[in-house]
Amino acid sequence: MSDPRPPRILISDELDPAAIEVFRRAGFEPEVKTGMKEDELCQAIRGVDALVVRSATKVTRRVLEAADALRVVGRAGIGVDNVDLEAATERGVVVMNTPRGNATTTAELAIALLLALARHIPRADRLVRSGKWKAKGLVGTEVFGKTLGVIGLGRIGKLVAERGRGIGMKVVAYDPYLAGEGMASPMAGVELLELDALLTRADFLSVHVPLNDSTKNLLSWEQFARVKPGARLIQAARGGVVDEEAVLDALTTGKLAGAAFDVLVEEPPSKDHPLLARDDVIVTPHLGASSEEAQLRVALDIAEQIANFLKNGVAENAVNAPTLPAEAMGEMGPYLLLAEKLGSYLAQRTQGQIRKVELTVGGEIARHAEHLKLAFLVGVLRHSHDKSVNFVNAPALARERGILVLESREERPDFRGGELSVRATEKAGGKAHTVAGTVFGREPRITAVDGLRLDLVPKGVLLVTRHKDQPGVLGQIGSILGRYQINIQRLELAPASDAGAAAHGYLTLSPEPGPPVLEALRSIPAIEELQLLRL
C-alpha cells in the first residue's frame, strides 16, 4: 500500500529562492532550516523524504541512521565529500549532485587568475592602496601567442582550453586517459601531449583533474624540475593535486614566475602559510563555483532533479544509485555497494589500464544486472576521476577509456542471496585479475580473489601481499607495522596452492601506512609483491 502522506523536503543549507519555486510548481512545500548541528539534524531528519544540502551540512552515518523515511539526498554542487556515500547506499538512499552547474564559472575563474598572474594585478592593487603609484617591478607579460598547458581535459579543462584559444593562446593538453601513442586530440586546435612534453613547452599551466590516488601530488618536485623556466601555475582543481612545498621551492629558485591557488590542501590556510607571504602568489578562497549564475543553476538543477525523483522515480545524476524504485533500491543497495567495491578493487589491483571486463551475476539479483554493471563501472572510474562519476555518465566515460564490458548471468550461484564475479584484463600484456563477492546480511564481502577463497570486508585500507610460503613472514610484517603504530584490524591469508607457489595476505590496516612503512615491508626477503589499496 502506498504512503498517503505527501513527501517532505528539508533544505538545510542556503539555497537560491528560485529552487523553492520549482518545488512549489511541482506540488511540494519544502521546509527550510539552516545552520543545524549534527544533533539537531538527527532530530529534524525524521519523517523527511528528501534532504537538500550544499557544502555546509554534513550528512554523516549517524544522520542517515536517524532518517526513518529518507529516500534521496540532493547536493547543489558537484562535490559530495560531505555525504557518507557508503552509509547512504547501505540504507538505499539515493545521493545526487549537479555536475553541470559549476563548469563555466570554474573555467572563467582559471582564466581570470591566469590574466591576474600575467599582469600582477593583485600586487598592483595592494601597492596603490598603500599610497604607491608606480609601475616599477610590475612589468607583466602578454598572453597572446603564449602556450597554455591544460592538465585534464574533462568538462572544465575543455572550457579553459576553448577560452585560452579565444584570447590568442596556443593550447596544449595532457589527460592521463587520452594519452598514448597515436591518440588523437578530442578538440580542434588543441595538441595532445604527454605530461613531460607539456611541462617543457607551456608558459602557463592550468590544472583541472580530480583528486584521487593517481593524481595526488601530480605536480611535484620531479615535474617542476622539467617546467619551462618562468612558467606560471594556476591551481583551481582540488587541494592536493599540486604539491604546495614543491611550488614554493620552484618559486624560490625562479623555476616558476608565479602561481595562483583557488584551492589548498588546508582550507582555510593557517595565517603563517608560506604561500600567503609571497608577492608572486595569488590565493583566493575557493571561488570556483562562486558566481550568481552558477549558484542559481545548481539550485534549479537540484530542485528539478529531486522533484522528478519524488514524482517519477528518476534519479538523474545519482552518484550512488541507478534509477530504481524505492523498494528495489532498499533491497539492492548493499549489492550496488558490493559492485562498486569490486570495481574499485580491480581498478587499483590492475597495474595497467583495463581493456576488458567480464561481469557474471548469479541468483535473484541477476534481474538487476544492468544496474550492477553501472555500479561496477562507477567503482572503476572513481578511482581515476572523483565523485562526479555517476550512473548516468559512467557508460560514456568507460567508452572514452576504451573499456569493453561483457555481461553474463548464472542460474545457480554459490550463495543464496546472489553473487557477483568479475574478470578484468589489462590493456598492456593481457594480464587478468578476478574478484568475486556477495552480501552477508547487508554487509558486502569479497569471497574470492584470483581463484583464492576469502572472507574479506571491502572497507578501509587494505594491504595485499604475495610472499614465500614459509614460517615467520607474518611475524615480520606484524613487527614492522607495530613499530610504526599501525594496527591490523583484520587478516585473511591464502596459503600456497602448490609446492613452491606463493602465499597471499590481505591485511586491513589503521591508520594508513606511509611510504617509510611500505619501504620497510618491501625489504622483507620473503615479500615478492606488496600493494596498498583503499576501499
- Catalytic positions, please? 238, 267, 286
Look at the chain and count its residues: 535
Nearest partner of 317 among 96, 520, 122, judged by Cα: 96
Q: State the DSSP H helix or E strand holding residue 534, giving kind and residue range, or none if neither.
A: strand 527-534
ω into 471 cis (within 30 of 0): no
Q: Where are the beta strands (DSSP E) in 177-253?
A: 190-192, 204-207, 231-235
Place of cell 538543477: 301
Q: Helix 473-483 vs helix 515-522: angle between axes, to the nearest 10 degrees?
A: 160
Sign for the pseudo-dihedral over CA of 247, 253, 257, 258: positive
Residue 385 CA to residue 365 CA, distance in Å, equals: 28
How many C-beta neighbours within 10 Å does residue 135 have?
Answer: 10
Contact between 249 and 278 under an 8 Å Cβ cutoff? The reply is: no
Helix (H) or strand (E) holding 164: helix 155-166
**Structure letter (DSSP) for residue 279:** T
Q: List, in sequence order, the alpha helices (H) in 420-512.
A: 473-483
Q: Which residues pair with 357 in a beta bridge?
A: 405, 424
